[in-house]
Amino acid sequence: MRLLRALLRGAAPGSIPQQVDFYSRFSPSPLSMKQFLDFGSENACEKTSFMFLRQELPVRLANIMKEISLLPDNLLRTPSVQLVQSWYVQSLQEILDFKDKSSEDSGAIHRFTDTVIKIRNRHNDVIPTMAQGVIEYKESFGIDPVTSQNVQYFLDRFYMSRISIRMLLNQHSLLFGGKINPAHPKHIGSIDPSCNVVEVIRDGYESAKRLCDLYYMSSPEFILEELNAKSPGQPMQVVYVPSHLYHMVFELFKNAMRATMEHNADRCIYPPIHVHVTLGNEDLTVKMSDRGGGVPMRKIDRLFNYMYSTAPRPHVETSRATPLAGFGYGLPISRLYAQYFQGDLKLYSLEGYGTDAVIYIKALSTESIERLPVYNKAAWKHYKANHEADDWCVPSSEPKDMTTFRKYSLWFRRWIFFFLNISIIVLKSLLAHWLK
Ligand code: ADP
Ligand code: MG
């Protein structure tokens, strides 16, 4: 219906803002893991992929570009956000250059694949650049709770959109870019049709352990328990993007290790990190439990805020080494990776003891469907609506002093009584005077 309405309104006119308006009227089309696989297996066809992407990429880009334009003016004006915006404009323009090319033009299809690779590389640094923009804005203008909520809402959607656009770019460039990955010949682009979850978890642990050893000269052990409830005795496998799973477990291991090392620094005995992996009929679940002292419940939601970190901010310019912590992006981005294919990432904490971080992944490829933001009235309202007062009482740390309250209310009543009496006496004497 949106498509029809957009077409009825006429062809997309020339300028980029008009193109953004035009393409943002279409909803992105979420693909399932199964569709990604079908697309990339036997009948992998560059022409079909070209025709799909030259429509879908502008739609996904335009949808999120509309939301960028709703950010507060002062944030939009920061050099970093301007730079990110210019990358989006340039990439949209480059894809639109293929709008009128014939699908039989093999030269154009070939050039399109090169363009896809160029766009993917151009957008490599979107996350740190956008993060820099938010820091610049915060430092210059401060941030009130409403803006902070809007920025959080925006960043979740913006980064999710980026993950999805990158997935499409990666699939096309890996399938048709001419190079077969010799290490993983069975992968369909970035997807492993039989992703060995335990292997990825071990890789994530080893990388985090190397960092932890570097920073703390030691690291906690790791104990793995696996239960394949779906096919007992078989290895735990799902259709998934191993790099996404690796990203999540690597971030969770880094957090668990840092908490374990800091919390047990006095005793110098570091309790191991326990990982339980379970494959059921619907979910594949990875639970990582540490004994790093946990987080108070009050702070759990805050941990998913971009920029929230209890670690000192690392200096990116001085060293290119990966820091263990400090940007505050580990948890929120990992949760987006989990949610991208309809899973989730949650944190449960026992303050004083430790934390359980749980990753949920859909076990069936037919249920792993992209979760994509769409620009519509509901999204627009999020940025524009005035945030009204909460409909729950704000608890006060100081209980109301009812004795003072009563004392003042008694004084108030006495004064009213006094004035009423005076007024009656004055009225009575006036009446008596007139009636004389
Ligand atoms: P970063 O690690 O860069 O600080 P994250 O998003 O990964 O950013 O984590 C945010 C914050 O959440 C950390 O700084 C830490 O205070 C807290 N946190 C995360 N995981 C744990 C954990 N397992 N135990 C205790 N605190 C944690
Ligand atoms: Mg972290």
Q: Give tens-digit pLDDT for 254-304.
A: 999 999 999 999 998 999 999 999 999 999 999 999 999 999 999 998 999
Q: What is the DSSP letter of 251?
A: H
13: pLDDT strictly greater than 70 = no
How far is the centre of ligand 1, averaged over its atoms, from the C-alpha of 305 (Å)?
Answer: 11
- Highest mean pLDDT range out of 3-12, 291-300, 317-326? 291-300
| For range 157-166, the mean pLDDT | 98
Bigger pLDDT: 324 vs 100:
100
Is the Cβ atom of 259 under 6 angstroms away from ligand 1?
A: yes
Cα–Cα distance measured from residue 321 to residue 270, given in angstroms and rounded to the nearest whole number: 25
Please report which ligand is nearest the Cα atom of 329.
1
Cα–Cα distance measured from residue 361 to residue 363, given in angstroms and rounded to the nearest whole number: 6
What are the tokens at 147? Answer: 């803006």
Is the Cβ atom of 348 under 6 angstroms away from ligand 1?
A: no
How far is the centre of ligand 1, averaged over its atoms, from the C-alpha of 303 (Å)?
Answer: 6
| For range 13-22, the mean pLDDT | 90
Is the Cβ atom of 309 under 6 angstroms away from ligand 1?
A: yes
Question: φ, ψ for residue 417 (rounded to 5)?
Answer: -60, -45
**Cα–Cα distances in Å, from 337 out to 164, 167, 207, 292, 331?**
10, 11, 19, 24, 10
Bigger pLDDT: 346 vs 301:
346
404: pLDDT strictly greater than 70 = no
The DSSP line for 267-303 is TT--PPEEEEEEE-SSEEEEEEEE-S----GGGTGGG
Ligand 1 pocket test, candidate residues 286, 291, 309, 353, most atoms within 8 A of CB: 309
192: pLDDT strictly greater than 50 = yes
10: pLDDT strictly greater than 70 = no
Cα–Cα distance measured from residue 120 to residue 400, given in angstroms and rounded to the nearest whole number: 59
What is the pairing mode between strands 222-228 and 192-196? unpaired
What are the tokens at 340? Answer: 């991208």
**In 10 A of CB 46, how many CB atoms?**
15
How far is the centre of ligand 1, averaged over its atoms, from the C-alpha of 156 (Å)?
Answer: 18
Look at residue 3 in the predicted model and tell me its pLDDT. Answer: 46
Is the Cβ atom of 264 under 6 angstroms away from ligand 1?
A: no
42: pLDDT strictly greater than 70 = no
Ligand 1 atom nearest the C-alpha of 323 is 3
Buried b (16+ CB within 10 A) or exposed e, 364-394: ebeebbbbbbbbeeebeebeeeeeeeeeeee
Look at residue 69 in the predicted model and tell me its pLDDT. Answer: 95
Least confident of 297-311, 360-374, 409-423: 409-423
How far is the centre of ligand 1, averaged over its atoms, from the C-alpha of 359 (Å)?
Answer: 15
How far is the centre of ligand 2, averaged over its atoms, from the C-alpha of 256 (Å)?
Answer: 9
Bigger pLDDT: 289 vs 428:
289
Residues of the chain above pLDDT 70, percent: 88
Least confident of 126-130, 325-329, 353-357: 325-329
Look at residue 401 in the predicted model and tell me its pLDDT. Answer: 58
Q: How far apart are the first and last CA of the chain?
A: 86
Is the Cβ atom of 311 under 6 angstroms away from ligand 1?
A: yes
Residues of the chain above pLDDT 90, percent: 67
Look at residue 398 in the predicted model and tell me its pLDDT. Answer: 64
Look at residue 9 in the predicted model and tell me its pLDDT. Answer: 47
402: pLDDT strictly greater than 70 = no
Is the Cβ atom of 324 under 6 angstroms away from ligand 1?
A: no
Average pLDDT, the chain: 88
Look at residue 297 in the predicted model and tell me its pLDDT. Answer: 95
Please report which ligand is nearest the Cα atom of 358.
1
How far is the centre of ligand 1, averaged over its atoms, from the C-alpha of 244 (Å)?
Answer: 19
- Could you read off the pLDDT of 96-132 as tens digits, one per residue? 999 999 989 999 999 999 999 999 999 999 999 999 9
Active site residues: 247, 251, 254-255
228 alpha carbon, distance to own chain's centre: 30
Bigger pLDDT: 317 vs 247:
247
Q: What is the DSSP letter of 124?
A: G
Cα–Cα distance measured from residue 5 to residue 343, given in angstroms and rounded to the nearest whole number: 33
What pTM did the predictor assign?
Answer: 0.87
| For range 361-386, the mean pLDDT | 92
Q: Which residue owns the Cα nearest ligand 1 atom 21?
A: 255
Is the Cβ atom of 197 under 6 angstroms away from ligand 1?
A: no
Q: Give the residues across from 226 on adjacent strands.
A: 277
Please report which ligand is nearest the Cα atom of 304.
1
| Residue 318 pLDDT grade (very low, low, confident, very high; cuts 50, 70, 90) | very low
Q: Which residue owns the Cα nearest ligand 1 atom 23?
A: 256
Is the Cβ atom of 251 under 6 angstroms away from ligand 1?
A: yes
Ligand 1 atom nearest the C-alpha of 355 is 23
